[in-house]
Amino acid sequence: MVRSLGKYPHNKFVVLGSCVGLITAAILTNFLWASTYRSLFVSSAYPRSLTPNMKGERQELRLGVDDEDDAHILEWEEVAEAPVGRLDGAAVQIGNHLYVFAGYATIDKVHSHVDIYNLRSNSWEGSIEMPQEMAHSHLGMATDGQYIYAVTGQHGPQCRGPTSLNFVLDIQTKQWSHLPPLPLPRYAPATQLWKGRLHVMGGSKENRYDPALEHWSIAVDNGKAVESEWRSEIPIPRGGPHRACVVVDNRLYVIGGQEGDFIAKPGSPIFKCSRKLEVVFSDVYMLEPGGKEWNVVPSMPKPDSHIEFAWVVVNKSIIIVGGSTEKNPVTKKMVLIGDVFQFNTQRMVWKTIGQMPYRVKTTLAAYWDGWLYFTAGQRDKGIDDPSPKKIMGKTWRTRLNLSP
């Protein structure tokens, strides 16, 4: 026989307990959903174990090591800020100097000078004016250690047209000279010196959108072309702008990039930029000396673009910092990344070795005396929003010691 505990009081407590339980469950569910959503959103650009501490001027980041058991602490340090912020600028490193060219100040204003950063003394040491006819953004660029070769690119702000004109800067005299113009103008082509020839390939065509496949080269010596015309070379398998182009062990690598870009709005008197579909990819191609075709090598850990000057070579590894990846599928906004990637060219293996203080595209990288540097570019809106916002002039560095 079951003992009765009283009819009405029992029901009141049951109802009250049920309500409290439901409310508690709802709060707990909402908290877990919000936490999960935020974690997933943040991890789209920052792996959970690599999320940076954004407080203060120095950020400590935990490095994830793909194929080793140990881990390291990477500490970023803010150093001398550039005289101006710039987006879609260009840069080359010669010894302990980083030469930083052109770029957007805003969408309606472009720079037409070169700033010089002394990595050894951590100071910016004056500037050099550029020729009036030279491109202001989306340039191709390479150096032989004394001469800087600047090719093609966009002349003017917004989404103006490209130029086929090419220039050479002698860093000793700070004087400019000309190279023969390209057969066709291009936006942000992959550019590098290789085997005594200046190679220019891919980029976007004159309409700023269609990917180009052409690959040209011209022999150069002591800052001068020794041929009167560009020579056709093996076309790049996949065209498009904003790619890293690197030589390691006499092999030519073309890394990442995209197909498509903003275009000028039809009929706009100021060539106002208009968004179109872009496809960002992770493809990597390699051309060997005497090779008859491009080799496909392992792809990047994720699609990455706007990295044409965001790379350095350390112990035969290619290090790439930041960039932009596939667009947000809902908002269609560009998504920036803050990853630091390493490509070991001896083992043909990629891995993510850390994170930057913030996500940023078209940053300009250098490496000196064990320090990895980056400056300029366009950063994210904050840790919870990877879309682009402010054009930066800040400069950062971190210790980076890699085994051969």
Q: What is the DSSP string of 325-341?
A: ESPPTTT---EEEEEEE
| pLDDT one-digit tens code per residue, 318-339 | 999 999 999 999 998 999 999 9
Which positions ≥6 away from 95 have C-beta within 8 Å?
A: 145
Q: How far apart are CA 41 and CA 44, in angstroms?
A: 5
pLDDT tens string 26-60: 444 444 333 333 333 333 344 333 334 333 333 33
Which of these CATH numbers, 3.40.50.1100, 2.120.10.80, 3.40.1360.10, 2.102.10.10, describes 44-399?
2.120.10.80
pTM here is 0.84
| pLDDT for position 67 | 46
Average pLDDT for 172-193: 98
C-alpha 250 chain-centroid distance? 24
Q: Are 311 and 320 in contact (CB under 8 A)?
A: yes
State the pLDDT at residue 297.
Answer: 97
Classify residue 85 by burial, with Cβ atoms within 10 Å: 0-12, 13-18, 19+.
buried
Domain boundaries, the chain: 1-43, 44-399
pLDDT at 401: 84
The mean of the pLDDT values for the chain is: 86
Contacts of 201 (CB under 8 A, 6+ apart): 189, 190, 191, 214, 215, 216, 233, 235, 236, 245, 254
Q: Whole-angstrom Cα distance, residue 274 to residue 262? A: 5
